[in-house]
């Protein structure tokens, strides 16, 4: 772990693919313990961030640290302390389940075969079947089992629930919660299922077109980001005066609605300073917050 | 690393089998008429093909985290992959030698065949060619030392392509590697004797291997 108590840290990381910037000066960190969710729309840079973390991709600019080392020079012993479940649970399709287990066990010195077997039995994954013959749910559980069996300190999951039905996703979540409850373990995950994220995460990082828009505890995000309905004396103005923490502003049916991040009293005072009054305040779910931050149109901040 | 080696051998099953079958067939058809330099250069081409295939596998990198996120250095991981490709090439060399031996044994049995039909013959054993209108020389099999040389240079061709395609300028790396492989063999073919040929091939293989190792310095996967 680094001196700042972070398992991983991105420092002004830019990753370019040709002229496209997948990450654009992104800086954020994953603190020790708990669950950090990396959120964003498709193409926001989540998978790119994870690939730089695992040393699978070199940043064009900036640096990434994991477990106190440059991500491009992680010693094998430290790498063994990182578990990884890739997007879509990619495993060699021709391997049998028992071969996948043996393959992982041969590389990770701390691989716990007994635990892995227990998980596979719990998920009803047949050991003699080939990966290509497994359902998506079973493949996900297999990927999870072999990633967790080495008992890693830091687990990275790239959209682990992708393609799973509700029941399989719920089972997946249960395992994740078990994992979190084990002392000292840190989890970084990306997901598009924000209800799942709300259940397990205690910190969120929101990426939008490669830029970090939010990096805060989940409770802070839910408490501080709210939607305010404004009323103006007379005809509402065509444009709004700047409001500190403004996320999004829309004008509908002759009224302005703004989404602002900040303490409610401070936001109300800031709104009054622009000559308007707050007619209503609406708390937002994480999904609402996500939409407010990432919707392309009418974003003023 | 046996598991990584076996996985890679299995991943290369289709192109590997294709290479073995193609080399066996070439061993038969090129046993008599084709110059040794050309005959051996095909190993470079096949090796480069395997390297290119592995490079193309790498382009599916989003799917490769399961393999690449492993507590081993990148050098060991990719070196083991190289050994897997080399294993297929060794199998292909065996198939080629078997095809060569089979065809030459067949011609030896027909010793009454008109020698003038073979104005050019080749002796792969000493990497030399000759022109003997009156006699047909029929070597059988390949000695270990020549096989080792052949494999070493082929591996160098593979390594150059493999590491080349992994680098940012993949499209440039492939033709450069192809030209370098064939160019090396043209020098080998023109060498005055087997020792000089081995020296050229060895120096070339060493240079390419150093390039590959330099490319994999650090832990970038």
Beta-strand runs (E) in A40-121? 61-66, 69-70, 82-85
Domains of chain A, by residue range, sit at 6-209, 220-294
Flag if A84 and B69 touch (Cβ within 8 Å): yes
Q: Are A250 and A298 in contact (CB under 8 A)?
A: yes
Per-residue model confidence (pLDDT) at position A180: 72
- If 0-12 CB within 10 Å is exposed, 13-18 middle and 19+ buried, where does residue A182 land? exposed
Topology annotation, domain A6-209: Rossmann fold (3.40.50)
Say whether B66 and A143 touch across the interface (CB within 8 A): yes
- Cβ-defined contact of A92 to B65 (cutoff 8 Å): no
Cα gap B181→A149, rounded to integer Å: 45
CATH tag for A220-294 (out of 2.30.170, 1.20.120, 3.40.50, 3.30.70)? 3.30.70
Q: Do A72 and B220 touch (CB under 8 A)?
A: yes
In whole angstroms, what is the distance from residue A122 CA to residue A105 CA?
19
Reading chain A (301 residues) residue by residue, the pLDDT tens digits are 554 589 999 999 999 988 899 999 999 999 998 899 999 999 999 999 999 999 888 899 999 999 999 998 889 999 999 999 988 888 888 999 999 999 999 999 999 999 899 889 988 899 999 999 998 888 888 998 999 899 999 999 998 887 778 887 887 788 777 777 776 789 999 988 898 899 889 999 999 999 999 999 999 999 999 999 999 888 888 888 888 999 988 887 778 999 999 999 999 999 998 888 999 999 999 999 999 998 865 544 4
pLDDT of residue B139: 38
Inspect the interface and report whether the beta carbons of B66 and A86 lie closer than 8 Å.
Answer: yes
Q: How many CB atoms lie within 10 A of CB B152?
A: 17
Which of A76, A80, A100, A155 would best serve as a mutation to test chain B binding (most B beta carbons within 10 A)?
Answer: A76
> Is some CB atom of chain B closer than 8 A to the CB atom of A58?
yes
- Stretch (H or E) spanning B3: helix B2-11
Name the interface residues of B facing A (CB cutoff 8 Å). 2-4, 7, 10-11, 61-73, 218-221
Low-confidence residues of chain B: pLDDT under 50: 113-142, 144-145, 218-219
Best B10, B60, B63, B66 member to test A by mutation, with max A CBs in 10 Å, is B66
Contact call for residues A277 and A212 (beta carbons, < 8 A): no
Q: Please judge whether B219 and A108 are an interchain contact, meaning their C-beta atoms are less than 8 angstroms apart.
A: no
Q: How many CB pairs under 8 A join A and B?
A: 71
State the pLDDT at residue A300: 46
């Amino acid at each position: 772990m680094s001196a700042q108590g972070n398992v991983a840290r991105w420092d002004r990381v830019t990753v370019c693919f040709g002229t496209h910037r997948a990450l654009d000066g992104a800086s954020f960190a994953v603190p020790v313990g708990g669950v950090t969710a990396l959120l964003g729309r498709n193409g926001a840079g989540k998978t790119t961030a994870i690939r730089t973390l695992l040393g699978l991709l070199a940043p064009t600019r900036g640096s990434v640290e994991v477990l106190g080392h440059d991500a491009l020079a992680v010693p094998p012993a430290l790498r063994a302390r990182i578990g990884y479940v890739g997007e879509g649970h990619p495993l060699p399709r021709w391997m049998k389940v028992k071969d996948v287990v043996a393959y992982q066990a041969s590389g990770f010195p701390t691989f716990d075969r007994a635990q892995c077997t227990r998980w596979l039995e719990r998920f009803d994954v047949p050991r003699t079947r080939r990966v290509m013959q497994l359902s998506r749910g079973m493949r996900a559980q297999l990927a999870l089992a072999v990633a967790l069996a080495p008992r890693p300190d830091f687990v990275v999951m790239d959209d682990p629930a992708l393609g799973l039905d509700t029941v399989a996703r719920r089972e997946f979540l249960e395992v994740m919660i078990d994992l979190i409850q084990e002392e000292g373990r840190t989890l970084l995950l990306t997901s598009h299922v924000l209800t799942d994220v709300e259940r397990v995460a205690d910190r969120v990082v929101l990426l939008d077109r490669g830029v970090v828009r939010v990096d805060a505890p989940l409770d802070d995000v839910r408490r501080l980001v709210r939607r305010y309905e404004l009323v103006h004396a007379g005809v509402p103005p065509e444009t709004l005066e700047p409001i500190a923490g403004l996320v999004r502003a829309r004008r509908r049916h002759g009224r302005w609605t703004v989404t602002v991040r900040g303490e409610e009293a401070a936001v109300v005072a800031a709104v009054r300073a622009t000559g308007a009054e707050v007619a209503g305040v609406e708390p937002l779910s994480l999904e609402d917050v996500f939409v407010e931050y990432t919707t392309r149109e009418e974003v003023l901040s | 690393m046996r598991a990584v080696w076996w996985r890679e051998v299995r991943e290369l099953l289709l192109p590997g089998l294709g290479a073995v079958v193609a080399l066996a067939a070439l061993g038969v058809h090129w046993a008599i008429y084709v110059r040794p330099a050309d005959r051996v250069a095909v190993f470079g081409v096949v090796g480069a093909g395997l390297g290119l295939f592995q490079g193309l596998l790498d382009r599916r990198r989003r799917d490769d985290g399961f393999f690449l996120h492993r507590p081993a250095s990148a050098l060991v991981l990719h070196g083991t992959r190289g050994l897997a490709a080399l294993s297929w090439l060794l199998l292909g060399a065996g198939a080629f030698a078997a095809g060569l031996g089979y065809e030459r044994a067949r011609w030896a049995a027909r010793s009454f065949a008109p020698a003038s039909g073979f104005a050019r013959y080749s002796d792969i054993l000493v990497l030399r060619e000759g022109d003997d209108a009156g006699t047909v020389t029929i070597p059988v099999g390949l000695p270990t030392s020549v096989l080792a040389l052949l494999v070493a240079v082929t591996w160098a061709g593979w390594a150059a392509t493999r590491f080349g395609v992994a680098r940012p300028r993949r499209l440039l790396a492939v033709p450069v590697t192809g030209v370098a492989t064939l160019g090396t063999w043209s020098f080998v073919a023109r060498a005055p004797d087997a020792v000089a040929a081995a020296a050229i091939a060895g120096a070339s293989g060493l240079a390419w291997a150093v390039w590959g190792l330099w490319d994999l310095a650090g832990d970038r996967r």
